[in-house]
Amino acid sequence: MYDTADAAGSPVRPPRPGRRNPYARLFATPGARAFTAGNLIARLPMGMFSVSAIIMIAGSRGSYALAGAVTAAGLGVTALVAPWTARLVDRYGQARIAVPATAIAALGSLALLLCVRHGAPDWTLFAAYAATATTPNTGGMSRARWAHLHKDDPAALHTANAFEQAADELCFMLGPVLAAFLCTAVFPEAGTLTGAVLLLTGVLLFAAQRATEPPVSPRSRARSPLRVPGMPPLLSAFLATGAVFGSLEVVTIAFAEDRGHRAAAGAVLALQAAGSCAAGLLYGSLRPAANPRARLLPCVAAMTALMSLPLLAATLTGSLLAVAAALLSAGIATAPTMVTGMTLLQGRIPVDRLNEGMALAVTALLGGIACGSAAGGWAVERFGAASGYAVPVSAAALALVVTAVGTAGRSAPETTKAPLC
């Protein structure tokens, strides 16, 4: 049917809504651009803080061991505190909890800066960095807003989750580069100071967008996310996927250093993130299959297969350039895996526990990163950097086994009211 006509009087068929760019359609949602802008500003420091702390502490105290211990302890405290912070967000709302929690975290960063600059005892560094554990999961809060805005539109929610994963990759690609530049070109504390300012500014802008904030659900007796059917294997898959990321970072740095190109390690790792970012955006533009549970296993299988490429490149060629190309390819499957996993998680968690559930997923990822880093370092010391790439392959294979076992059982019931793909 032709409803309009052009200047010459010829009928013109209106564009089909289904052919519209899914990202343009996503950000046409009222308020979406505003809360996304604030969230991106707040999320960028997530890739800055650890690098800034290591450079700042190691440069001042002359000990990378101390710097690593401080950041590792902070990561451990964050893994414990994050689910509790998210539970408060679910109970009292994003703005009421995120702003004071961010203020405490920013003060912790400033305290760390002052302790380093004025030569305070080592234990004060641990205490100050531990205070940053109250940083709210800004990515999770953004995903919760999308889930609220598009609870009746599975395709839009799929695109939103893909965008959020691409944003994660982008922030962790740009954050370390920005931190290293600020700490070396400006002054050692510049990275931490800038990160604290960006975090507080971004959260204030994000929290100010009250129109898109999910309403606080009445307190219910909904079971803990850990007790929801299907959640333990899903979180175990996130844990194993985190081990892929952690081991890949350590092994790549060691491999580049063995070839005399340690300075290029960051750029090589950025290629993996770039591949994941691009794949995430492409995946989000496609119409997903009906069931995310059915999509997860093929995604993890693809990740496992592609993670073998860096191992083959390192052992067969010994070329850093070949490894870089392999990492770019390996990154293609990580974003679809994370997007599908998060979509599946959103479908299983009760609405009034959504932020807590996503915080548990992030905690599993962080725990996996820590374990993967340790395993990757051990493998490099024991078998060499090239053979160390067997660790991320093994971690991906473990994620595949866990996913296969989890999806082989009875389908977990959806706990939200709307179907999520």
Would you say 27 and 39 are in contact if contact means Cβ atoms under 8 Å apart? no
CB count within 10 Å of CB 294 equals 14
C-alpha angle 284/287/290, rounded to 5°?
115
**β-bridge partners, 4:** 12
What are the backbone dihedrals phi and psi of residue 317, each rounded to the nearest 5 degrees, phi first?
-110, -30
Would you say 187 and 250 are in contact if contact means Cβ atoms under 8 Å apart? no
* pLDDT at 413 (0 to 100): 45
* pLDDT at 26 (0 to 100): 84
The CA distances from residue 377 to 63, 245, 254, 380, in Å, are 18, 13, 8, 5
The pTM (predicted TM-score) of the whole model is: 0.73
**β-bridge partners, 12:** 4
Distance CA(407)–CA(340), nearest Å, equals: 13
Distance CA(258)–CA(265), nearest Å, equals: 11
* pLDDT at 409 (0 to 100): 55
Dihedral angle at the C-alpha atoms of 71, 72, 74, 80, nearest 10 degrees? 160
* pLDDT at 280 (0 to 100): 79
What is the full DSSP assignment across 9-64? S-EEPPPPGGGS-HHHHHTTSTTHHHHHHHHHHHHGGGGTHHHHHHHHHHHHHS-H
* pLDDT at 249 (0 to 100): 79
Distance CA(197)–CA(205), nearest Å, equals: 12
**β-bridge partners, 11:** 5
What is the pLDDT tens value at each position of the chain, 421 positions in all?
A: 344 444 444 443 444 444 568 888 888 888 889 999 999 999 888 878 877 887 788 788 877 678 778 877 887 788 788 888 888 888 888 889 999 999 999 999 999 999 998 888 989 999 999 999 898 888 888 888 888 888 778 788 888 888 887 888 788 778 877 887 888 888 888 889 999 999 999 999 999 998 888 887 666 555 666 677 778 888 888 899 988 888 887 788 788 878 877 667 767 877 888 888 888 788 777 766 557 677 788 888 999 999 999 999 999 988 889 998 998 888 888 888 888 888 788 777 777 777 777 778 888 887 888 788 778 888 888 888 888 899 999 999 999 999 888 766 544 444 443 333 3
In order of their start, the domains of the chain are: 30-217 (1.20.1250.20), 225-421 (1.20.1250.20)
